């Protein structure tokens, strides 16, 4: 073996993700992709960001291009603290905020400070693939909690924790419009989950990139809003409400020692997140009326796309398949009992429509009939055409194990 390929043991589980591989196929112009998790690019506030960049350069000049503090610029941390305090009806201090390079970096840093090889992490089943990838790099093992249309089931969490050996380092969950299923953790399960974790002294990683993209119903209190002794690391991001290319996201941590470790881990990773992106994000987001109107446009557009996709699926899906209509977010989850969606992807790609097969979202890769459909990126017309193609592909796909 070439010495260049003598990698550290922790790289053994690093594999190209199905999603990234598939995004390559979808570069072809005639393929309709429900695969990536991309926001609608036509909604990016390009003019406003250009204006904000000019304003920042005029006002801060070289300071916006200089090295900066690891925690993030104070303006951005104050903005996050104020927004979370308003949304969650609880007072949060900017001192507890660290600006990270996408919430994906937050997940990596959490893995870095908590996970030794072989440590357990508790996950929903299925769970966000990017989190599994981040924790895989630290050689985590997973304990999964039973999950239904109301998200993680508290009694199952309790059972898992009561028998876990070694005891897990933390539980990771996406409570709102989860990636991949679009499910939301039911209101009546939220406090019980916090109390169970409090009782077992288990840190909670609450990843909430989609919470602001609610189309129906009312916002539910995040886990971090409960007065509790539980240590909660809350992750939010600008990726879905402004633009993912800025890589501006935030970690809210109430526990001082945990915060300090995260800051030290981030120092080693990148010293700090890009200052210019933070200044620009802050400048635009501080124009409150314009920014709220912008978030409102995203919600309206995605709600219509969700509706079009749900209607099209009702018409196109054969009997026996079913889907969950999410109340927000960017994803819709379909089950095709008896059909392996990895096989289906091959059939559907020939018909020029792609999605993400579900198996990779299950830590044990043991469920093969799920698929994740993204509805934020394609136009309403494309969604209609794509779902019709998908319905035909499902009818044409041989059942799993069949000849």
Ligand X SMILES: Cc1ncc(COP(=O)(O)O)c(C=O)c1O
Question: Which residues of the chain form contacts with ligand X (CB under 6 A)?
Answer: 37, 102-104, 128, 130, 174, 179, 207, 209, 237, 239, 244, 249
276: nearest Cα among 152, 394, 119, 101: 101
- Report yes or no: 278 and 73 within 8 Å, Cβ to Cβ: yes
User: Which one, 244 or 358, has the nearer CB to ligand X?
Assistant: 244
Shortest CB 208 distance to ligand X, Å: 8
Shortest CB 249 distance to ligand X, Å: 4
Shortest CB 403 distance to ligand X, Å: 38
User: Which one, 100 or 354, has the nearer CB to ligand X?
Assistant: 100
At residue 215, φ and ψ (nearest 5 deg) are: -100, -35
Q: 243: which DSSP letter?
A: -
Shortest CB 14 distance to ligand X, Å: 17
User: Which one, 115 or 394, has the nearer CB to ligand X?
Assistant: 115
345: nearest Cα among 288, 296, 389: 389
User: Which one, 237 or 275, has the nearer CB to ligand X?
Assistant: 237
- The per-residue DSSP string of 271-301 comes to SSS-HHHHHHHHHHHTSHHHHHHHHHHHHHH
Shortest CB 62 distance to ligand X, Å: 28
User: Which one, 49 or 316, has the nearer CB to ligand X?
Assistant: 49
**Helices and strands (DSSP H and E) totals, the chain:** 12, 15
CA 353 to CA 340: how far, in whole Å?
16
Shortest CB 137 distance to ligand X, Å: 15
CA 277 to CA 375: how far, in whole Å?
27
User: Which one, 278 or 321, has the nearer CB to ligand X?
Assistant: 278
- Report yes or no: 177 and 326 within 8 Å, Cβ to Cβ: yes
- Report yes or no: 136 and 14 within 8 Å, Cβ to Cβ: yes
User: Which one, 71 or 340, has the nearer CB to ligand X?
Assistant: 71
Shortest CB 239 distance to ligand X, Å: 3
| Residue in the shown chain whose Cβ atom is closest to ligand X | 102
261, two tokens: 């470790």
Q: According to DSSP H, which parts of 166-255 are helical?
A: 187-200
First to last CA, the chain: 40
Q: 371: which DSSP letter?
A: E
Residues in the chain: 403
User: Which one, 104 or 231, has the nearer CB to ligand X?
Assistant: 104
322, two tokens: 């079913």
CA 211 to CA 174: how far, in whole Å?
9
Shortest CB 174 distance to ligand X, Å: 5
Shortest CB 395 distance to ligand X, Å: 30
User: Which one, 179 or 348, has the nearer CB to ligand X?
Assistant: 179
Q: H or E segment at 170?
A: strand 170-173
Shortest CB 314 distance to ligand X, Å: 26
User: Which one, 103 or 147, has the nearer CB to ligand X?
Assistant: 103
Q: Pairing mode, if any, of strands 331-335 and 97-101? A: unpaired
């Amino acid at each position: 073996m070439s010495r260049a390929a003598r990698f550290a043991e922790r790289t053994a589980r690093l594999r190209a993700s199905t999603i990234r591989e598939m995004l390559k196929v979808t570069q072809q112009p005639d393929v309709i992709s429900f695969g990536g998790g991309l926001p609608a690019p036509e909604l990016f506030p390009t003019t406003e960001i250009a204006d904000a960049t000019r304003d920042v350069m005029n006002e801060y000049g070289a300071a916006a291009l200089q090295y900066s503090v690891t925690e993030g610029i104070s303006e951005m941390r104050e903005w996050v603290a104020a927004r979370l305090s308003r949304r969650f009806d609880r007072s949060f201090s900017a001192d507890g905020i660290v600006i990270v390079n996408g919430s994906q970096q937050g997940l990596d840093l959490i893995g870095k400070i908590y996970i030794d090889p072989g440590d357990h992490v508790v996950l929903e089943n299925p769970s966000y693939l990017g989190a599994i990838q981040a924790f895989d790099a630290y050689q985590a093992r997973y304990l999964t909690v039973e999950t239904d249309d109301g998200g993680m089931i508290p009694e199952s969490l309790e059972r898992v924790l009561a028998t876990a050996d070694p005891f897990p380092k933390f539980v990771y969950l996406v409570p709102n419009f989860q990636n991949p299923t679009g499910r939301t953790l039911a209101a009546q399960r939220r406090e019980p989950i916090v109390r169970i974790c409090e009782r077992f002294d288990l840190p909670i990683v609450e990843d909430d990139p989609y919470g602001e993209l609610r189309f129906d119903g009312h916002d539910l209190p995040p886990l971090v809003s409960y007065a509790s002794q539980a240590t909660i690391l809350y992750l939010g991001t600008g990726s879905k409400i402004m633009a993912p290319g800025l890589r501006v996201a935030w970690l809210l941590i109430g526990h001082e020692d945990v915060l300090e470790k995260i800051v030290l881990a981030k120092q080693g990773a990148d010293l700090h997140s890009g200052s210019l992106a933070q200044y620009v994000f802050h400048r635009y987001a501080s124009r409150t009326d314009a920014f709220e109107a912008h978030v409102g446009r995203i919600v309206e557009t995605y709600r219509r796309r969700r509706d079009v996709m749900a209607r099209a699926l009702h018409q196109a899906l054969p009997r026996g398949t079913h889907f969950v209509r999410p109340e927000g977010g960017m994803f819709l989850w379909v089950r095709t009992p008896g059909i392996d969606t990895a096989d289906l992807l091959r059939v559907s790609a020939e018909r020029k429509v792609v999605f993400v097969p579900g198996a990779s979202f299950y830590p044990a890769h043991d469920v093969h009939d799920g698929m994740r459909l993204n509805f934020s990126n394609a136009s309403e017309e494309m969604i209609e055409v794509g779902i019709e193609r998908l319905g035909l592909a499902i009818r044409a796909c041989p059942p799993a194990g069949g000849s």
